[in-house]
Amino acid sequence: MTRIYSNEVTLDTAGETVHLQGWVQKRRDLGGLIFIDLRDKNGLIQVVFNPDVSKEALTIADKIRTEYVVDIKGTVKKRDEKQVNKNIESGEIEVYAEEIEILAKAKTPPFQVSDDNINEDTRLKYRYIDLRRPKLQNILKTRSIINKAVRDFLAEEDFMDIETPVLSKSTPEGARDYLVPSRVHPGEFYALPQSPQIYKQLLMLSGMERYYQIVKCFRDEDLRADRQPEFTQIDIEKSFTDQEDIIDMNERLIQYVMKTVKGLDIPAPFPRITYEDAMARYGVDKPDTRFGLELQNLNEFSSTADFKVFKAAVEAGGSVKAIVVPGAAPDYSRKDIDKLEAFVKNYGAKGLAWMKVNEEGMQGPIAKFFDDSKKQELTETLSLNTDDLILFVADKDSVVHAALGNLRNKLGKDLGLVDKDQFNFIWVTDWPLFEYDEDLGRYFAAHHPFTSPKREDIDKLETAPHEVKANAYDIVLNGYELGGGSIRISDAELQERMFRALGFTDEERDSQFGFLIEAFQYGAPPHGGIAYGLDRFVMLLTGSDNIRDVIAFPKTQNASDLMMDAPSVVSREQLKELHIDVEVEKD
């Protein structure tokens, strides 16, 4: 008899004999009758052991416990109207067992699969039990559907799925590499790829023209809720293309995935915003556009005010910006605002100035610094109404943006302004080509050193690098960077100029990228692409709060695997073979 799943047992199968296999989620002994909830990958079904049907099956059922694996054959019966369980798909029927075989016994598990309130460390230590929970199984099913949708779309677009090496060369890509020592080359190391960036460019130089890969990448960096040391990218590259072509193709890809996975028709073209406008209006380069509370510039107002804190910030080349929270003044006490001030200090702000608007006018610690005419100017500039709460930060631009941008996101969530069922895709374009590190006194590539500058800015590479814009674009979903890409440099001379602008010596350039520079000498087509964070995409489409829930076997916050107990100490013999001597400092 062919095995069937719980969701295939319906009223239409009443009276039929069925073959079920799965785990015992719950067992109830009602004295003479035993009921179990049998769980498989598609759901739950109730099985009844009745001595009038099979005394032998009842005897065996008396021995089974939670998480035993069993094989059951029995007859489907319709439940009495009062016994219908509307909480499960098979709730209108039950199976009366005629035969049962215990396939595997189980110790009492450290937690019940039906329990959603489990300590995360416990869940990760016993991940194989945690993954039995329907919530995680549904997430991984969705992940699989997303993978297939991406592959189906790109196959139709004539892209080739090509694997690239995992053991590669260490090159500067913005994060620390994971290094792998070579046994046959003493003292030398491979690096695990932070991305397939160089390989996919070499594939374009090889004439592949359309490449993609769903690939593991590795970055040795501090973790957070949406970051893991090993993560999965949807990596895409195309030859003979430009930015508009890449954006159009990727909008169609997103539309196909969203329709396939969520049944949603996402309108295109997606809105676009420049990096400069994103920072000015939202304070972050990945704005959540599902709600308002945009940052408003008060430099002109502050430059003529008598309030020294505001005026000094503008005179020092910084800015004063505000967030207006409509109607929130009565709901925020001084204590509540103090908590907001403590929050923005995490982002470098020295403080959080504020005022409230009421029937009498403006109140707050800084209200006394503005006369009636300045208050009227502020009212008109910010379009203020009674009961509005105004929050100000004055400092250098980077601090103002970080403080208010993150405060905006916090307020959006705290005030319930975010529609969790809404999916807002936007493009952020015209990125700076370089970032300046004040501590090191030098420029770094904002994306990577192969990103092409805007044609009109090429002459500024050596003279005004801070003004150079990149042919780069990020796709943002609900405040998360979903993917990023660029049109690449395909001219060998321009690539060498880029390395010089980044401060590479000829020796450093040749040592780290000599093979790529040489490859460019043999004819490089114009090319560009994009890479999506698959884990983050799954997290957003499944409504998960933590990226660890969308990965089958994730690492903890400190990059440990509690289930495998990794990383771990290895034997001296293994280290000796790799020509490594380890010294661990003791406290």
* pTM reported for the whole predicted model: 0.92
Query: What is the per-residue pLDDT for 174?
Result: 66
Confidence tier at 63 by pLDDT (50, 70, 90): very high
Q: Tell me how far CA of residue 92 lies from CA of 7, 24, 87, 245, 580, in angstroms.
A: 11, 19, 10, 52, 64
Residue type, 358: N
Give 421-451 pLDDT, tens digit per residue: 999 999 999 999 998 887 777 888 888 889 9
Q: Tell me how far CA of residue 224 lies from CA of 127, 228, 412, 555, in angstroms.
A: 20, 7, 20, 11
Q: Is 157 a known ligand-binding residue?
A: no
Confidence tier at 587 by pLDDT (50, 70, 90): low
Residue-averaged pLDDT of the chain? 94
Residue type, 78: K
Query: What is the per-residue pLDDT for 225?
Result: 64
Report whether the peptide linkage leading into residue 365 is cis, meaning its omega lies within 30 degrees of zero.
no
* Consecutive H or E run containing 389: strand 389-395
Of 247, 317, 319, 329, nearest to 283 by C-alpha is 319
Residues 6 or more apart from 409 whose CB is under 8 A from it? 284, 288, 479
Mean pLDDT of 545-554: 93
> Residues 547, 224: contact at Cβ < 8 Å?
no
Residues 6 or more apart from 561 whose CB is under 8 A from it? 124, 553, 555, 567
Letter string b/e over residues 204-237, b meaning 16 or more CB atoms within 10 A of that residue's CB: bbeebbbbbbbbebbbeeebeebebbbbbbbbbb
Residues 6 or more apart from 450 whose CB is under 8 A from it? 197, 198, 201, 486, 488, 489, 495, 498
Q: Is 219 a known ligand-binding residue?
A: yes
Query: Using CA atoms, how far apart are residues 42 and 114, in angstroms rounded to an integer?
Result: 15
Query: What is the per-residue pLDDT for 439?
Result: 79
> Residues 311, 303: contact at Cβ < 8 Å?
yes
Q: Is 510 a known ligand-binding residue?
A: no
Q: Is 220 a known ligand-binding residue?
A: yes
> Residues 395, 313: contact at Cβ < 8 Å?
yes
How many other CB atoms sit within 10 Å of the CB of residue 104?
A: 9
Q: Is 442 a known ligand-binding residue?
A: no
E strands, 30-152, where? 34-40, 43-49, 69-78, 93-104
Query: What is the per-residue pLDDT for 529?
Result: 97
Q: Is 481 a known ligand-binding residue?
A: yes
Q: How many residues does the structure list for the chain? A: 587
Mean pLDDT of 220-246: 90
Q: Is 161 a known ligand-binding residue?
A: no
Query: What is the per-residue pLDDT for 569?
Result: 92
Mean pLDDT of 478-484: 96
Q: Is 536 a known ligand-binding residue?
A: yes
Confidence tier at 345 by pLDDT (50, 70, 90): very high
Work out the angle at residue 464's Cα, subtended by the Cα atoms of residues 461 and 468, and round it to the nearest 5 degrees: 60
Q: Is 334 a known ligand-binding residue?
A: no
> Residues 562, 125: contact at Cβ < 8 Å?
yes
Residue type, 471: N
Residues 6 or more apart from 5 whose CB is under 8 A from it? 40, 41, 42, 43
Give 488-538 pLDDT, tens digit per residue: 999 888 998 998 888 888 888 888 888 888 898 899 999 999 999 999 999
Residue type, 493: E
Query: Using CA atoms, how far apart are residues 61 and 46, in angstroms rounded to an integer?
Result: 13
Residues 6 or more apart from 415 whose CB is under 8 A from it? 325, 328
Q: Is 572 a known ligand-binding residue?
A: no
Q: 340 pLDDT exceeds 70?
A: yes
Of 546, 290, 278, nearest to 416 by C-alpha is 290
Q: What is the DSSP string of 18-33?
A: EEEEEEEEEEEE-SS-
Q: Tell me how far CA of residue 421 lies from CA of 1, 379, 540, in angstroms.
A: 43, 34, 10
Instruction: Write down the residue that tokens 């709600």 correspond to.
Output: 291
